Structure 1
Amino acid sequence: MIEQLRALISVQEPIFQEKLLLTLSNLEQSLVQLDSVDSKAWDTAVLTSIVSAWCLSDFVANATSRFPLLLSDLINSGDLFSSYDSGSINNRLAEEIKHVSTEDELVMTLRLFRRREMVRIIWRDLLKVSDLSETTRDMSRLADETIDQTLSWLHQDCCDKWGVPVGQSSGTPQQMVVLGMGKLGAFELNVSSDIDLIFAYPENGETAGAKRSIENQAFFIRLGQRLVSALDKTTADGLVFRTDMRLRPYGQSGSLALSFAAMEEYYQSQGREWERYAMIKARVVAGDFEQGQALMQSLKPFVYRRYIDFSVFQSLRDMKDMISREVRRKGMESNIKLGSGGIREVEFIVQAFQLIRGGRDTRLQQPELMAILQVLEEDGLLPPQAVKELREAYIFLRNIEHSIQGISDQQTQMLPESQIDQRRVALAMNFDNWELMFEKLSVHRQNVSRHFSDIIAPEEDRASEVYESKAFLGLWLGELSDEAAVETLQEYGFEAPDDSYRLLANLRKQRNVQMMQTQGRERLDSFIPLLLTEIASQKNRSLTLQRILLLIEAVLRRTAYFVLLNENPGALKQLVWLCSESPWIAEQLASTPLLLDELLNSESLYSPPKKEALQDELRQQLLRIPEEDFEEQMEVLRYFKKAHVLRVAASEVRGTLPLMKVSDYLTWIAEAELDQVIKIAWRHLTEKHGFPVKTDGSICDLDFAIIAYGKMGGIELGYTSDLDLVFLHSGDANKPTTGERSVDTGVFFTRLGQRIIHILNTQTAGGQIYEVDMRLRPSGNSGLLVCSLNAFEEYQKNNAWTWEHQALTRARFVAGSDSLGKDFYAVRSRILNQFRGLETLQQDVIVMREKMRDSLGSKAMDADQHKNFHIKHDSGGIIDIEFLCQFAVLGWSHKYPELMKWSDNIRILEEMGLCGLLQVNEAEKLSEIYKLMRSLIHKRALQKLNSEVSSEVFINERAFVASMWDKFVVRCQ
């Protein structure tokens, strides 16, 4: 073996040969002291691997040449060339520790075990047998098991000495909880990393079972001291892990171990911003895992805020500036962790998104950086190219870090200066030379630095924005005279400068503003000048300011929103423009400030997702909520609706969505909501009462259908539309449900309907999802809330009025059981294609139309003239076209069944043209008029205006509609 190694060394690069020969000499001397080392099966590939590892790592070379049995064990066991499963390190360490009887033996055993595993991990990493994820996972598992098993051994020993710690309140034995922080907490430990730990225990009390009791805190402090010593103390065998306890509450001056109550109190009252970053990566690594998870849950509100929290940007800048100053002071520009474009900047980018949005998106509440990058890409929070570049840069930087640290098993991130170490790093990174490797490293660091600046812009990059707003700063702070302030606003184009200044002055003098804490007031004072600057670039400046001030007053107690807009000029620009264009949008934002989050991504703001994407997004959001958290589910449903309706409104205002698409999207949003609401309600009812049954005794599998009428049925929802719904089921109303608390199936479905209405109708601080109108169900308000499909058909055949059949033309299955939906369509077809006498039908339709016009149309000034035209209800308006379509469906579906195929008027008109009931050009003209009128109603709704316009509007269109009504319905030609 020695001669084979010597031969392999002779062909290595000259730069390595001296060190390799010295290592070989050490190995020969070590072998002399041993009886034998089994190397019979070591072929050329194994020996080549040994020499390659020696070239790249002095640590591996020294450990394997001094301890050849370690080398033999790693090779012959196969561990060096195979991956560990999740239990390998646990089982191996447990086997070693079970023979330990004293603390000195424990200390030695841990170090020998660590040496073996570190040689394996560094060897595999440098030779790229394992990738980054496997290396960091193995390192983290090594630390986890070492800490946990050491703690377990020491805990028992401490109990033998001082008794078992018992909780004062619970009366149960207590164990320590060890939190791993930093890269250990994130399963990303370096090959030569120290470990950051925090010690805690569930509750105060005293020990029991010893001659002399001590307080629990004293017990756990002693246990913690012994654990740190066992891991951190350097002996002849080295150390296990350098252990850093400075991240604990109060730092080095704080107690080594705190109770859960003391931990919570500290973070709630004294926790600092940097400690939020630290806690992102916190994880229970040892001790009482069940209690540890309870502790982590209690600390989450400190880390993740319920609102979108952009205040983190400033603290990130402060931390980055502090690190940059230290890097410059110590000349550490070559530090690939702390230097520009280094590992820390990638971590800051990811942590910023976690802290900003983690309170609302639990998928961001993970410690692993790579997992968070994936979420950021999936949610569109970072572009795919940015995620790709950050991911590649992070892997490259971490691999270099390991290449550097693996040389001597030292905690360093400085690029090496010696020629031999540079050559080692280049080879470990699979580059032919250092220059090529350094060039690639520079590209990655530039990419990281660019993305960091884009996301967390330094203060100097924002100086121009601040400068532009200085003209308004004195005005806002009251430093200008009233006359000068009004003149300033006039100069910047405010149409009503006196009114605008009065609004600003009133805001400044409000008690809520006067009583603001320093930080909140600073945020407001920074925001108002930026806001006025942006408003000055828009039209309707005074009106826009008036609208936005409603939002400002709504968030005075939640000044993080000012930070959001200060930090995101693009979002501020969208806010001002949208409020300038639409008072309805301004009102939505003021009532639900969380919607400001939607302004951050203009691409998604003006590109509403398609139906399938909407359904999938809502489903994914609800999956993150515990099934039992009914209130949170309702909040998700409310916010989802408001956010996506805002996107549709923004797109319509910008002109990127035509009318038909606007209605489609608004209808799809409602369908996505109903799809989830019915599932939530069904799950709650079946958990309580079991499943309803059918007539044949089989179990109903969501045999419930929601039928939409009116605007939703006709795929014509507006921004403020309510939902006209009918509920159907196919169960046997008299049979009991299957649960222990069974009820009749009819009662079950009634409660299901009530629960659905409750979810949709309930008013909370977040508003309601939809207002539901159930008056179109059989027998109206006096009828059953939910009826069987058979009862529905029976009613439609024998008792329904003509106007109810008119309503049925616009009915559509929208949620629930697909099979029941198909059955409903069959019933609808049977009802609609009945032969009807045209004379009776004509009379019924005309009478109903006149009733609606009289009660809902604009009122006459005198007998002959209307001052206004009601777009929907007056003669020649939308309802005339709708009734015309309904008359056609009811009067001719028996002859032309394609008429009843659709529930929307545009396609019914198209079919009327194809069937010859109308001339094609007549049908097309009616369609265009219908779309024009509905489009104007939408636009007026966004301006918070009603559907009445000047009588001069649509003169020709109204005349055409009236003529078609007279021709097709009145005279039936």
Structure 2
Amino acid sequence: MTAPGRRSSTFTRLLRHGFTDPSAAERLLDSVELALVRDDPVLLEALGATADPDLALHGLVRLLEAQPDLTARRELLDTVIAAKPLRDRLLGVLGASAALADHLARHPQDWQALVTYEPYDLHPGVEEFERGLAGAGDPVGLRIAYRRCLLSVAARDVCGTTDVAQTAAELADLATATLRAALALARAGAPEDAALCRLAVIAMGKCGGHELNYVSDVDVVFVAEAIEGADELKALQGATRLASHMMRICSETTVEGSIWPVDANLRPEGRNGPLVRTLSSHLAYYQRWAKTWEFQALLKARPVAGDLELGEEYVAAVEPLVWKAAERENFVSDVQKMRRRVVENIPASEVERELKLGPGGLRDVEFAVQLLQLVHGRADASLRSGTTLDALQALAAGGYVGRADAVQLDDAYRFLRSMEHRIQLHRLRRTHLVPESDADRRRVGRSLGLRTDPVKELTREWKRHTSAVRRLHEKIFYRPLLDAVAQLPSGEVRLSAAAARERLVALGYGDPAAALRHLEALASGVTRKAAIQRTLLPVLLGWFADSADPDAGLLNFRKVSDALGKTPWYLRLLRDEGAAAENLARVLSAGRLAPDLLMRAPEAVALLGDGDGGGLEPRSRDHLEQEILAAVGRADDAAQGVTAARGVRRRELFRTAAADIVGSYGTETQPAEADQGALVHRVGGAVSDLTAATLAGTLRAVVRGGWGDTLPTRFAVIAMGRFGGHELGYGSDADVLFVHEPRDGVDEREAGDAANKVVAEMRRLLQIPSSDPPLLIDAGLRPEGKSGPLVRTLKSYEAYYRRWSLVWESHALLRAEPVAGDEDLGRRFVELIDPLRYRPGGLGEDAVREIRRLKARMESERLPRGADPKLHTKLGPGGLSDVEWTVQLLQLRHAADVPGLRTTRTREALAAARAAGLIGAEDAVTLDEAWVLATRVRNAVMLVRGRAGDTFPTDGRELAAVGRCLGHGPGHAGDMLDAYRRTARRARIVVETLFYGAEDR
């Protein structure tokens, strides 16, 4: 009996070495079997290094007990103590696998399979495994020999001699050798069948891909041909019997367990189809009836047993079909749906523990890699590997996957496969579920080298890797670019010069020679940049061609790529980030404004992705103002401050223009926006907010530059016209009024001088020539017009409006709204003008006649000479002026009584008039449609030409580009003009009634 002191010392040592049941371990160490080595520190340390020291010690005792005599037991112990390679291998296996410990207990001499440590033993192949199985004369002997070989695979695995990829390849090679041995047994049992046919066994799935698990179905397909002179039907029947017998040998369970199930359900028609087919029968099925997933499965097809020459013929015959599968209708979406169905079919109680099928699991990596292979592998043979990690490496090398993403996926796949291996190795049971018990998780964690807190560390690493896989799977697997590439004919995925020229002509490029030069400059060479461009360009060419000017789109793309080519995120963004590539193609081929803005700020390309940069959603005025004011605060002087404000404006104008273009076209992930009014609202609001923020920043810069923190007078900027109505277009001037109020104790003249200097400096700084779209301040709507002072005090405005205000000024003030400067002063200005614009009692008849006269005069004097009035969006019949003056007349007459009319916005006022019964529903819709269409045309003209215009372009290509912005396809510019005339004509009829008095209201 062990003395208490000694027991206490041993107990502590066992705890320190990782034993969880030291009492039981002490009893085992005190047993007769270990009497000679119970105090040997080498043994205890070796046991402590295993995944489960308790399990390893128990397995060692069982192995010793199974030895035939004392001599054999001593030989085993001496060898274990003396030979570190054997000690690590044997105890490593015993500590990781209770099932292999059971095998050693049944076959106590098989431990000697772990003694050898020759170079070939480090990484054995099929031939070495065939030698290990050679002595098996029957199915039971094959099972025993298989487990003996498996011992050596597991030993190399748990000792770190092989990594997870090498282990998976060894398991696939062992499966290959086993299938050959099982087929040999079947042939030996039925020589008459063997004499009739050539039978080939094709491995599929993980076995075919050289990445097999410890316990997994081995997926196979059988192909057979009759021996010359034999009857084909009898030959197929004989081949079927051989195949069935081979499957039973591997799959049946005996006292020695089973090897693994052989699954032939990936064959044509699945379990409903014949087990064995001829090569021609296979091909006929794949050519006519096969589903998408069947070609995905064939990606890993590999001949492994039987007639290898016939197997190679099979693979060679189906390979062209595999690499054309991506051209099938809905191919990408079918693969994506299949992956979703797999996840949906996982029991809810298991989904969080599913290593293989769950979200972020092994299948997410495999499906993403296979989808990329099938889409891009048509033109790039380097991607045609059946092994996931090899294919992933090739995808990264070819630029189809980001290098950092590939490294993360590789790391995650290796870790998750290692977990799967160690979980299965314990009982040699087919499972992909992470165990629930801490004891099982502790063993798995320790087997992976996690020793400080194995359970917690394992869970953390597992969740970290699954989270990364899930994120990257969503990013890669659902990449819109994939579907676009898949839809290209295989000959156009990688274009030769001749094919490229032919395709460019067919797509409508006007100068194919210049386009070819651009393609050559972008995609030639062996750099990663060129490789990614070669992937992008075939798709981009099609998107450019969907515009009115594909040549300009390609030229602009080259310019942006030249500017950003050395920026690591640029091409990665186009390849990986949602609809970024398609968005860029649309933007670059839609006209001049957006590309010009982008050339001056190429980094704005990042806005086209789906990342955290805000995308194409417009920023709020508060956000813009904060950013601009912060930039002004960092500037050294007023000029630098305004330059910084202009930089923000440039970027945000690009964001707005890009959103407008993308909303017109639509993308794979975002259909074209059907509500044209929503596009108008977004553009008008975004440009107006941006103009307000820019003026606020300019004001701050001027005040800081001349007076420091405080101006001697309170100062406010009041927006007027379309600016006040939140309806600015890309090229609109900023109509404003300036108002100030001297601070307490400040002389009025000093205050006035300061206010005038502020206005002059703001206008000067904003008018400094630059490559940015101009922002012109127009104060022409001020009292007395151009003859009056640029800035007045609030009291001066009050006095003027009380004594001299004319009806046109009340009219203009309908759209007045403070946008910058002193908020309280702006609020009091609004209080001052509200009684003028929302007059109690409305307008008298003289005032109504005056407004009608002013509008008629404006139409006759301002319409450009030679312009077609019916196509002039501002002053022509049914244009913006018609609609706005009609709505504003309703406001002047009824706003005092209808609160909803007290708005600066045209469409809101029109809706309020309709709600109040001041205009019929049909007439309101007619005016709204005309106003929206005219505004869309003006915005489109600016997008296309890069300069403002109120009429349709006369150049045919520009006209077609405007039509494309308005949703009219190639060749339909005439339809666009007819639609505009029709809409404007209907609006003019309503205006004649409501504004000019055919029906006085």
The TM-score, its normalising length taken from structure 1, stands at 0.47
Larger of the two Rg values belongs to structure: 2
